[in-house]
């Protein structure tokens, strides 16, 4: 590496996305591979979104609205918050990065779970922010005590994915309550709710309902999952004005494109499309969980659009064997390298995955 590249950068490990469908089809010479590796919406966006995008294509010679007034207004109305309590991101990924660059510095410290979403690690490492990874429980459930115990006097940022990726586990309302109250006031608590729409446990609560409990609370949401707009990169943060103002100063101009802004706004107007997908996911998640358990595998209870499966052997082996059957899932790094993360697809996709799994086992 060029000596000009600082250690903070050379330490980075490029994000490894799920294997692209086209790549596997090319390698195997097949046309019907199934990708259940990136927790994407398998039914696609609302037809109203597709139609609106078609009409808007001719306008892409213009810059987008840098303030994204229409989308932020729609989101403000949707959530009952003020416009200046919302910052948009190029996917919530960009907001994670911005949070790591905006609030803590190299003399501060961040906390997040292990295993949890890999981008917290990437964001802190890129920004040169020291961090502690709080262990989950043995059964991969969240451990709020471990998160609180990882907080140091210099801690400025804490990420909680609720539901968590890659486990699908959630922090129940009372425990979330406790975390928000017991975390020292100086810490910016970020609750990443990328999978919130899929959570249906009676005691699940969005942190948006608990904003009264602490000042420094930021909730992340995305249009990539339930709304099916992953390719357009639209996420947002909701938080107190003073913190959102900090993110607005740090973000790049025009960070969300005009098509993304439009698609997200139209998607909000079609809640029925989201509801139908969430219902499909609920049914199929139960069926996939039961099907994998029938094959003798251990499946963690999930509140998201994927399941984490303990395959009892190196996950890479099974991952490769499934690839040869045309099914792409996600192998996991240590400490859960005996697990595979499998996204919930349509009934046909899940049948294909379950049949392939039965064969390779």
Q: Does 28 bind ligand PLP (CB under 6 A)?
A: no
Stretch (H or E) spanning 307: strand 306-310
Q: What is the smallest separation between the CB atom of 41 and ligand PLP, expressed in angstroms?
A: 11
Restricting to residues 179-198, name those near ligand PLP by CB under 6 A: 192, 194
Question: Contacts with ligand PLP: how many residues (CB under 6 A)?
Answer: 13
Q: Contact, 270 vs 228, CB < 8 A?
A: no
Tokens 């609205």 found at:
65
Restricting to residues 191-230, name those near ligand PLP by CB under 6 A: 192, 194, 222, 224, 230
Nearer to ligand PLP, 41 or 222 (CB): 222
Distance between CA atoms of residues 329 and 296, nearest Å: 18
Nearer to ligand PLP, 119 or 349 (CB): 119
Query: Please, which residues have CB within 8 angstroms of residue 324's CB and are 6 or more apart in sequence?
Result: 28
Q: Does 117 bind ligand PLP (CB under 6 A)?
A: yes
Restricting to residues 258-317, name those near ligand PLP by CB under 6 A: none
Cβ-proximal residue to ligand PLP, closest one: 91
Q: Does 39 bind ligand PLP (CB under 6 A)?
A: yes
Distance between CA atoms of residues 182 and 82, nearest Å: 27
Q: What is the smallest separation between the CB atom of 162 and ligand PLP, expressed in angstroms?
A: 9
Site string for ligand PLP, 228-247 (x = CB under 6 A): --x----x------------
Distance between CA atoms of residues 54 and 45, nearest Å: 13
Tokens 């400025």 found at:
156
Site string for ligand PLP, 59-98 (x = CB under 6 A): --------------------------------xxx-----
Q: What is the smallest separation between the CB atom of 230 and ligand PLP, expressed in angstroms?
A: 5
Nearer to ligand PLP, 197 or 291 (CB): 197
| Residues 359, 360, 361: CA angle, nearest 5 degrees | 95
Q: What is the smallest separation between the CB atom of 234 and ligand PLP, expressed in angstroms?
A: 7
Q: What one-character-per-residue DSSP string does 205-266 give? A: --GGGGGGG-SSEEEEEESSSTT--GGG--EEEE--HHHHHHHHHHSPTT-S-HHHHHHHHH
Q: Does 347 bind ligand PLP (CB under 6 A)?
A: no
At 158, give phi and psi (nearest 5°): -135, 130
Q: Which two tokens stand for residue 223?
A: 């249009």
Q: Does 169 bind ligand PLP (CB under 6 A)?
A: no
Distance between CA atoms of residues 316 and 338, nearest Å: 8
CA 357 to chain centre: 25
Q: What is the smallest separation between the CB atom of 120 and ligand PLP, expressed in angstroms?
A: 9
Residues in the site for ligand PLP, rule: CB under 6 A? 39, 91-93, 117, 161, 165, 192, 194, 222, 224, 230, 235
């Amino acid at each position: 590496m060029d000596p000009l590249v600082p250690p903070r950068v050379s330490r980075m490990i490029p994000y490894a996305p799920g294997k692209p469908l086209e790549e596997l089809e090319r390698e195997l010479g097949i046309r019907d591979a199934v990708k259940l590796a990136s927790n994407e919406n398998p039914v696609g966006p609302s037809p109203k979104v597709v139609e609106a995008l078609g009409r808007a294509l001719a306008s892409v010679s213009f810059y987008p609205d840098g303030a994204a007034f229409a989308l932020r207004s729609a989101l403000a109305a949707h959530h009952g918050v003020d416009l200046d309590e919302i910052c948009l991101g190029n996917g919530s990924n960009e907001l994670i990065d911005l949070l790591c660059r905006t609030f803590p510095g190299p003399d501060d410290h961040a906390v997040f779970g292990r295993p949890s979403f890999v981008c917290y690690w990437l964001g802190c490492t890129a920004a040169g922010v020291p961090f502690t990874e709080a262990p989950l429980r043995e059964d991969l459930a969240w451990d709020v005590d471990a998160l609180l115990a990882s907080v140091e006097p210099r801690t400025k940022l804490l990420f909680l994915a609720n539901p968590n990726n890659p486990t699908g586990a959630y922090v129940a309302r009372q425990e979330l309550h406790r975390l928000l109250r017991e975390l020292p006031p100086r810490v910016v608590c970020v609750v990443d709710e990328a999978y919130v729409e899929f959570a249906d446990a009676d005691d699940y609560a969005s942190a948006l309902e608990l904003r009264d409990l602490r000042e420094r609370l930021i909730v992340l949401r995305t249009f990539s999952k339930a709304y099916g707009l992953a390719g357009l990169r639209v996420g947002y943060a909701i938080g107190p004005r003073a913190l959102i103002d900090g993110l607005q100063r740090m973000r790049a101009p025009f960070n969300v494109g005009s098509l993304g802004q439009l698609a997200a706004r139209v998607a909000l107007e079609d809640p029925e499309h989201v509801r139908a997908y969430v219902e499909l996911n609920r049914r199929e998640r139960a069926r996939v969980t039961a099907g994998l358990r029938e094959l003798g595998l251990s499946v963690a209870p999930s509140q998201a659009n994927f399941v984490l499966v303990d395959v009892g052997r190196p996950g890479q082996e099974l991952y490769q064997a499934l690839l040869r059957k045309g099914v792409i899932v996600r192998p996991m790094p240590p400490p859960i390298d005996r697990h595979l993360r499998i996204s919930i697809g349509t009934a046909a996709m899940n049948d294909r995955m379950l049949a392939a799994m039965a064969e390779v086992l």
